[in-house]
Structure 1
Amino acid sequence: MTPSPAPSPRPSVPLPGSFRDALPADAASAPLGAGEQVDFSVLLRRRAPLPRDLAHGPGTITRDELADRFGADPADLAAVRHAVEAAGLTVADVHAGSRRMTVAGPAGAAGALLGTRLLAARGTGRDGRALAHRARTGGLHVPPELADVVVAVLGTDDRPHGRPLLSRPLLGTPGKNGPAHGGGAGPVAYTPLQLAEVYGFPPDTDGSGRIAALVEFGGGYEEAELRAYFTGLGVTPPVVRSVDVAGAANNPGVDEDADGEVQLDIEVLGALAPGAELVVHFAPGTIRGYVEAVTSAVHASPTPTVLSISWGAPEDHWTPQSLAALEEVLADAAALGITVCAAAGDVGSTDGEKGGGRHVDYPGSSPHVLSVGGTSLRLADDGGSRAGRTPGAGAGKAQGAGAGSGRTAVETVWNALALGSGATGGGRSAAFPVPLWQRRYQPAGQRQPGRGQGPAERRGVPDVAAVADPSTGYRIRVGGKDTTLGGTSAAAPLWAALVCRLSEALDAPLGLLAPLLYALEAPPAPLTDITSGDNGGYPAAVGWDACTGLGTPRGAALLAHLRASRTTR
């Protein structure tokens, strides 16, 4: 194999935010052969800036309008194509609406164009298995004429990225094996239908006519298993179809955790909104894969009502250019009226980062998503403890057979860090300033130290919450058997299902939902404020907090408030 030559000294300028750290010490690497075929994605600038009312609501436009007004400029596409072809590479695909261009060709030519040396590396994948991948270190460069045209170049380095945000109970079968961390009671599990009753999902809705998109980065599902699960609940199985992105596909039976994530997402969302069509976009577990999966979902035809994301990584695991690229797509989602529900993380206020400190998970920290944190949920006899709920703020009885007559849902912040079983993510973003709609919720105790900005200047995470504790978890089916799973990756599709049902009832998309929730005040409260517990770095508090946000849903009350807010605009 002929090693790739050093990049040619042609004129170039640095591509901001493209720096990649060196590979881990235990990862073997060697120069990629000059003739080895590679491909990568180029994201171009918009032809005009996206107006604030589209990027942050409440304005929306159609997919065609977005492409015509804010897609890639034909002159920019032509300039990139010229540079690519002059370098001996080929433009394999162009999507002007999402401003993406796929480039393919020899590794040596790609390295020369981008001012880098591509490596063949071997490391460890998320499942612990050996994994061959491409890599590079340092920053990328582009020709001077493209300095203001190119936003990001993704895929020259495809090392593993991100993780499924699901958690498994440590204490065995629900109802057995001793005390749980929640105060002496044993582990329990709820079906999604029971949780619909607990959270008061609006009756006479099932998500009909809505499209719910999901993105997955490994694993898969068996259609027969999904049918068995939904039929066992007495639910008509929803329509579920998969979309292959960047060479990935529905692939069950290889990665147990990834299968658990995929089926948890589908089963929770499908059981709670069985009338909706579920479209699952499978992509590689790389930074490029994340961006392309979300792009595939957001720019799909027809446009989805909601997108649920249950995978993530700490903010500082994303390069600035990759974070900027995904933010561009999430802004497109807001402009198209798509509600994006993203898990806030399962490792407490550190987000699992070595050395501690306070960190939040992305894309759950994006200002363009509804960030979903987690609680621990117990059903207590009426008259029992109601710790965790603010009096008068929606601590009413959970209704219906699932909750049990005369029983009250008692929720606290999910935190089992002492047992090694996780906790809800939450905190202050290091990457994003506080959105306008969140500025009124700035408790003095919720500061993010050492970031150079005060507490009123950073995005707070999460916005809302739902049950996520695996010891009070979700009863689902994976690998031919019933099991219990939790994590904020279960809470996110629960909220996505609620969005489908609210959208059906209102006969309109909800778009960026967070600003609407932060604006709601009058009783009966559409959210239950969780005021007991912490996530290791932040305490629960009256009002918004960096554990459970504004609280957990009261679906019918939320529908009434949204309906009223629409009539007063």
Structure 2
Amino acid sequence: MVTKHPLPGSERNVEQGSKVVGQCDPAERIEVFVMLRRQQQAQFDALMSKIEAGDPGVKPLSREALAKDFGAAPDDVAKVKTFAQAHGLTVVREDPAARSVLLSGTIAQFQSAFGVKLEHYEHHSVGQFRGRTGTISVPDDLHGVVEAVLGLDNRPQARPHFRIRPPFEPAKGRQVSFTPPQLASLYQFPQGDGKGECVGIIELGGGYNTSDLKSYFASLGVASPTVKSVGVDQGSNQPSGDPNGPDGEVTLDIEIVGSIAPGATIAVYFTQNSDAGFIDAVSRAVHDTTNKPSVISISWGGPESNWTSQSIKAFNSVLQSAAALGVTVCVASGDSGSSDGSGSGNQVDFPASSPYVLACGGTNLTASGTSISHEVVWNDGAQGGATGGGVSQAFPVPVWQNGLSSTSTNGGKTPLSGRGVPDVAGDASPVTGYSVLIDGEQTVVGGTSAVAPLWAALIARINAASGQPAGFVNPKLYKASGVCNDITQGNNGSFAAAPGWDACTGLGSPNGQKVAAAL
């Protein structure tokens, strides 16, 4: 008799607004990926403590060294393969460096293997998906070996954080727009084009048209960068022709990075919008030995409460690997203010709330000539969007945020009880947005979605100029005073801007030259 153990953190409840609409076909084939524990976890934790403290003696690991010392143990991979065989499952891919094994089989085989029941659900806003409730079970052999089983459930996990400028006139202030190079100049980015670097961009749907990119870069007088599409788990570059859909996100990200760092290669990792797809795509980018991105930009996410704790833990461990490799990960903090669109109190967006990423919030920017005349928190009201920000309920206060407080809209200060979001900010209001070309249409876009690639392009320029990766930048940015333009006006609902760090704009928007000097 095989003893089964519940997999910690794998519990799923029926999401509010979801209902079962049918049974899954037991013969339908699906793919599921299994994340394994890290070898030498204690040594890895010690390394991470040094990285978090900003220890200058720590050099980035090579991808080869990370795989050898801190990948999955061959014995653990063998155990998963034996388990798969016993349940009639096929091993599609094993990646010890990324600590993952991809399995393929029928719904019936997976239900039996992991002790779950899969059903078709419908949700009023996300449509139909395959879901489950309760916990996933693993046998004795895999207890403590397997950290996450992802893909049994394929509910949409994240949303893109961009906002197309609405057709109506704003109540106050006039509409303006900027090209990404204009913003790079206003934010005093150091000169350069990111030559020799690779920026990875994660996309959970949509696609880009090469014709859009060519026309756009030509209109700015910028050389077209090399853009590579990398398909992950059946994901591929599939433009829908709708600029309001995921195409808007994909094209915005590429056009911002490409126009500020045209010398860098841009690798776009396309995947499915599920926790499995999202985590696997970031893992593939982090462990990519072909393109070797030194910076990764992520403009998708969802409220922390939407994630299972096994997904948060698995995703966070991939982001730890990025920090160990010296890969900077820039993530949008969300476009729905302090509630993150959750409808229930204050929430922050994940993966922006991971302590191993640079969380990027949003501002509303006014310029006069070549300088910034006014910059406040981005908050265009309930319909127009506002910067995400607040205090994590999933992660404790990181060492580099010790002693900081959040400021509430009524002026009260509260010491941080968890990871504070965001770390930094940049122009995000569609009213003062980015002029881009999407699906043949010239349009103005905002959202914290634009801020992650803006910071990623800055880091690419800095990396190219210094000849080494900036790596995990947070400890250095928090230690160096005055490298960001401090934003002290505005709020995102529950939280207000204040001198120094705040839960709307973090440390502020970039002064690129000063950021380069600090890194």
TM normalised by structure 2 equals 0.94
Deviations 1:468-525 (A, max 9, x none): 001000000011121000000001100000000111121110111111100102xxx3
Which residue, out of 537, 554, 564, partners 2:494? 537
Cα distance between partner residues in 1 of 2:489 and 2:26 = 59
Matched, 1:345 2:334: yes
Q: Distance in 2 between matches of 1:217 and 1:17?
A: 24
Is structure 2 residue 478 aligned with structure 1 residue 514? no
Q: How do 1:434-449 residues align onto structure 2 when only pairs under 5 Å count?
A: 434-443=397-406
Q: Displacement, 1:170?
A: 2.7
* Pairs within 5 Å for 1:372-391: 372-380=360-368
Question: Aligned runs of 1:78-477 on 2, under 5 Å?
Answer: 78-122=78-122, 126=126, 131=128, 133-172=129-168, 177=169, 180-181=170-171, 184-203=172-191, 205-253=192-240, 255=242, 256-301=244-289, 302-355=291-344, 357-380=345-368, 403-404=369-370, 407-418=371-382, 420-443=383-406, 455-477=415-437
Amino acid at match of 1:542: P
| Contact 2:36/2:72, CA 8 A, preserved across alignment | yes
Residue number in structure 2 paired with 1:20: 12
8 Å CA contact 2:235, 2:270 repeated in 1: yes
Distance in 1 (alpha carbons) for counterparts of 2:123 and 2:515: 47
Q: Is the 8 A contact 1:135 1:157 kept in 2?
A: yes
Q: 1:291/1:206 Cα in 2 relative to 1: closer, same or farther (>3 Å)?
A: same
Q: Specify the SS of the correspondent of 1:241.
A: strand
One-letter amino acid matched to 1:161:
Q
SS in structure 1 at match of 2:488: coil
Q: Is the 8 A contact 1:236 1:274 kept in 2?
A: yes
Whole-angstrom CA distance in 2 between matches of 1:23 and 1:414 = 30
Contact 1:303 1:336 in 2 (8 A): no
Q: Distance in 2 between matches of 1:527 and 1:410?
A: 14
Amino acid at match of 1:543: G
Aligned counterparts of 1:438 and 1:141: Cα–Cα separation in 2: 37
Aligned pair partner of 1:51 in 45, 51, 54? 45
Unpaired runs of 5+ in structure 1? Answer: 1-8, 381-402, 563-569
CA–CA distance in structure 2, aligned partners of residues 115 and 254 of structure 1:
41
- Equivalent in the alignment of 1:71: 71
Aligned-residue offset at 1:446: 9.3
Which deviations, in whole Å up to 9, do the C-alpha atoms of 1:387-437 show, x marking residues without a partner?
xxxxxxxxxxxxxxxx44xx543100011125x101001010000001101
Whether the aligned pair in 2 keeps the contact of 1:198 and 1:409 (CA below 8 Å) is: no
- Give me the whole-angstrom Cα distance separating, in 2, the residues matched to 1:444 and 1:347: 18
Using the TM superposition, give the Cα deviation of residue 124 of structure 1 relative to its aligned residue in structure 2, in angstroms: 6.0
| 1:475 partner SS | strand
Letter in 2 for 1:108: A
Change in Cα spacing, 1:414 to 1:445, as seen in structure 2 (3 Å) is closer
Indicate if the aligned counterparts of 1:313 and 1:361 stay in contact, CA closer than 8 A.
yes
Matched, 1:556 2:516: no
The letter for the 2-side match of 1:110 is F
Change in 2 beyond 3 A, CA 1:481/1:456:
closer
Which digits, 9 at most, give the CA deviation of each residue in 1:3-43, with x for residues without a partner? xxxxxx85201001111122555544333233322220000
1:398 aligns with none
Q: Do the aligned partners of 2:35 and 2:148 also contact (CA within 8 Å) in 1?
A: yes
Counterpart position of 1:547: 504
Distance 1:73 1:408, change over 3 A: closer
* Other-structure match for 2:23: 31
Cα distance in structure 2, aligned partners of 1:107 and 1:536? 44
**CA distance 1:432–1:23, shift in 2 (3 Å):** closer
Alpha-carbon shift at residue 75 of structure 1 (Å):
1.0
> Greater CA deviation, 294-303 or 537-546?
294-303
Render the CA deviation track for 1:119-175: whole Å, top value 9, x for unaligned: 24455675xxx54x3221111100022110000000001011210000122354xxx
- Output the CA distance in 2 between the equivalents of 1:64 and 1:167: 40
- Pair 1:539–1:433, CA change in 2 (3 A): same
Separation in structure 2 between the aligned mates of residue 424 and residue 125 of structure 1, nearest angstrom: 22
User: C-alpha distance in 2, partners of 1:264/1:34?
Assistant: 40
Task: Report the Cα distance in structure 1 between the residues aligned to 2:46 and 2:510, rounded to whole angstroms.
Answer: 28
> What one-letter code is carried by the residue in structure 1 that aligns with 2:155?
R
Residue ranges of structure 2 left out of the alignment (5+ in a row): none
Q: 1:440 Cα shift?
A: 3.2
How far is the alpha carbon of 1:441 from its aligned partner?
Answer: 2.2
Amino acid at match of 2:117: R
CA distance in 2, matches of 1:66, 1:239: 28
Is the 1:347–1:423 Cα contact (8 Å) retained in structure 2? yes
Three-state SS of the structure 2 residue aligned to 1:556 is: helix
- For residue 457 of structure 1, report the CA deviation from its aligned partner: 3.5
Q: Which of residues 429, 435, 442 is equivalent to 1:482?
A: 442
Shift in CA distance, 499/537, structure 1 to aligned 2, threshold 3 Å = same
Q: 2:451 aligns with which of 491, 503, 527?
A: 491
SS where residue 511 of structure 1 aligns? coil
Q: 1:208 to 1:150 in 2, by over 3 A?
A: same
Same amino acid, percent of matched pairs: 43
Q: How far has the Cα of 1:88 moved from its partner?
A: 2.0
- Read off the aligned partner of 2:358 and give its amino acid letter: L
CA 474–323 in structure 1, closer or farther in 2 if over 3 Å, else same: same
Cα deviation for residue 303 of structure 1 reads 2.1
Indicate how the Cα distance of structure 1 residues 488 and 441 shifts in structure 2: closer, same or farther if over 3 A, else same.
same
